[in-house]
Amino acid sequence: MSYKITDKCISCGACAASCPVSCIAPGEDRYEINPEECIECGTCAGVCPVEAPEKA
């Protein structure tokens, strides 16, 4: 099960910068994770200052 970014996202970009497979990109209201590319490593959740990424 991949991660998803919740409404807590403040669009800082920390998750995208740290993603080892580059599956995170800016969306309309917040960053978004491509679930087909996510390897479920949890790096994004570890670097997010507001704990926006969560297991989907």
Residue 32: per-residue pLDDT: 98
Both tokens assigned to 50:
């507001």
Question: Residue 13 pairs with which residues in a beta bridge?
Answer: none
pTM (2 d.p.):
0.93
Residue 2: per-residue pLDDT: 93
Residues ≥6 apart with Cβ < 8 Å to 23: 33, 34, 37, 38, 39
Residue 33: per-residue pLDDT: 98
Question: Residue 26 pairs with which residues in a beta bridge?
Answer: 31
What does the pLDDT look like over 4-55, one tens digit per residue? Answer: 999 999 999 999 999 999 999 999 999 999 999 999 999 999 999 999 999 9
Residue 1 has pLDDT above 90, yes or no: no
Task: Please tell me the distance from the alpha carbon of residue 29 to that of residue 10, in angstroms, as a whole number.
Answer: 9
